[in-house]
Structure 1
Amino acid sequence: MARYTNSLPVPETTSRLRDSIISSLKSFGLNMVYENGDYLVAKEQPGQVSISQLTTIEVLINQPTVAAGAGCVNLVVKNEELPLRRDNHCEQVFSAVNQAIVALV
């Protein structure tokens, strides 16, 4: 199973950040499977790649705390594909989604 993660610090989280992340995920042709206040799950649509290569994207938006002083956005992109090559489909999706979220933050 291929799995790529990143944690991005954000000075403050707002509903605009959440909405921007959702629209960014949808712009990649991903279907929103689950939406909660601070947790999002999106999946690729079947048809472009094999079933084992279909990625699932999870985004957790942590609110700022007094102790930390900032919040963070945790990103997890995973699929059932064995990552036999460094440049695999899951890594390509992770790079694209990660760059889009970094641009938003």
Structure 2
Amino acid sequence: MARYTCTFSVAIDLERLQSSLKEILESCHLEIIYDTGEYIMAREVPNRAPFPKLVTAEVLIDRTTATPEEVRMNLVMKNEELPLQKDNHCHQMFDLIQQALVEYSQWELLEKVAG
């Protein structure tokens, strides 16, 4: 199973973060399948890749340490594909989501730590 993780700190109001994350994930061809306010799960839209390669993204928002100036979140991307090559489908989608999070214009990226 391929699995990639990253932690982001961004400057955005906590109330706007949720809708911003949904917008980013949907723009990267993922559909939201679960949302609790602190946790978002999205999966890749079918027909973009063979079924075992379809990616699931999980975003955990750390509300316990959130301040008006900073919110931390953890991104986990995974699929059933064996990561036999570094440039596999899951890693490509992980790069796409990371790029979208870094370049999103509605917040300021404060820190990014790849796991």
The residue that corresponds to 1:7 in the other structure is 7
CA contact (8 A) 1:24 1:100 kept: yes
Q: How does 1:9-24 map to 2 (within 5 A)?
A: 9-11=9-11, 13-24=13-24
Q: What root-mean-square deviation, in Å, do the aligned CA atoms of Structure 1 and Structure 2 show?
A: 1.9
What is the distance in 2 between the residues matched to 1:65 and 1:79? 29
CA contact (8 A) 1:40 1:60 kept: yes
CA contact (8 A) 2:42 2:57 kept: yes
The count of corresponding residues between Structure 1 and Structure 2 is: 103
1:38-66 CA distances to partner (integer Å, 9 max, x unpaired)?
A: 11000012112111100000001112538
The residue that corresponds to 2:85 in the other structure is 85
Matched, 1:60 2:60: yes
Q: Which has the higher contact order (CA 8 A, sep 6+)?
A: 2
Change (3 A) 1:87 1:97: same
Structure 2 residue ranges without an equivalent (≥5): 110-115
What is the distance in 1 between the residues matched to 2:78 and 2:59? 12
Change (3 A) 1:51 1:75: same
Letter in 2 for 1:5: T
Structure 1 runs of 4+ aligned residues shifted over 4 Å read: none
Structure 1 residue ranges without an equivalent (≥5): none
Letter in 2 for 1:27: S
1:76-96 CA distances to partner (integer Å, 9 max, x unpaired)?
A: 000000001110000000011
